[in-house]
Amino acid sequence: MRKTAKVNGDQLVSYIDHGGTGPAVLLLHSYLMDADMFAPQVDAFGSTYRLIAMDERGHGGTPADGPFTYWDVARDALGLLDELGVARCAMVGTSQGGFIALRMALLAPDRVDALVLLGTSGVAEDPEVAAGYRQAAAAWREHGPTQELLDLNATICLGQHDATEWQAKWRRLSGDHIDRVLTPLVERDGVLDRASEISCPALVLHGSADVAYAVDRARELAETLPNAEPPVIIDGGAHFLSLTDAEAVNPHIEAFLGSHSHSVRP
Distant-in-sequence, close-in-space partners of 232: CB < 8 Å, separation ≥ 6? 203, 204, 205, 206, 249, 252
Confidence of residue 21 (pLDDT cuts 50, 70, 90): confident
The answer as to whether 253 is a domain residue is yes
Q: How far is Cα 241 from Cα 239, in angstroms, rounded to an integer? A: 5
The answer as to whether 209 is a domain residue is yes
Confidence of residue 264 (pLDDT cuts 50, 70, 90): very low
Q: Is the pLDDT of residue 262 over 90?
A: no
DSSP-derived letter for residue 194 is G
The predicted pLDDT at position 8 comes to 94
Bridge partners, 117 (sequence order) = 93, 204
**pLDDT by residue (tens digit) across 111-130?**
999 999 999 999 999 999 99
- Residues spanned by the domain of 78: 3-125+190-260
Residues of the chain with pLDDT > 90, as a percent, come to 95
Q: Exposed e or buried b for every residue in 39-73, given b needs 16+ CB within 10 A?
A: ebbbebbbebbbbbbbbbbbbbbbebeeebbbbbb
The answer as to whether 77 is a domain residue is yes
The answer as to whether 103 is a domain residue is yes
Average pLDDT, the chain: 96
The answer as to whether 15 is a domain residue is yes
Tell me what the mean pLDDT of segment 233-251 comes to. 98
Q: Exposed e or buried b for every residue in 212-225, given b needs 16+ CB within 10 A?
A: bbeeebbebbbebb
The answer as to whether 91 is a domain residue is yes
- ∠ CA 260-262-263, nearest 5°, is 135
Bridge partners, 15 (sequence order) = 3, 54
The predicted pLDDT at position 263 comes to 55
The CATH number of the domain holding residue 8 is 3.40.50.1820
**pLDDT by residue (tens digit) across 34-68?**
999 999 999 999 999 999 999 999 999 999 999 99
Distant-in-sequence, close-in-space partners of 59: CB < 8 Å, separation ≥ 6? 29, 32, 33, 34, 181
Task: State which H helix or E strand residue 200 sits in.
Answer: none
The answer as to whether 156 is a domain residue is no
The number of folded domains in the chain is 1
- ∠ CA 157-163-164, nearest 5°, is 155
The answer as to whether 55 is a domain residue is yes
Q: Is the pLDDT of residue 265 over 60?
A: no
Amino acid sitting at position 63: P
Q: Exposed e or buried b for every residue in 168-195, given b needs 16+ CB within 10 A?
A: eebeebebebbebbbbbbbebeebbeeb
**pLDDT by residue (tens digit) across 223-241?**
999 999 999 999 999 999 9
Q: How far is Cα 184 from Cα 251, in angstroms, rounded to an integer? A: 31
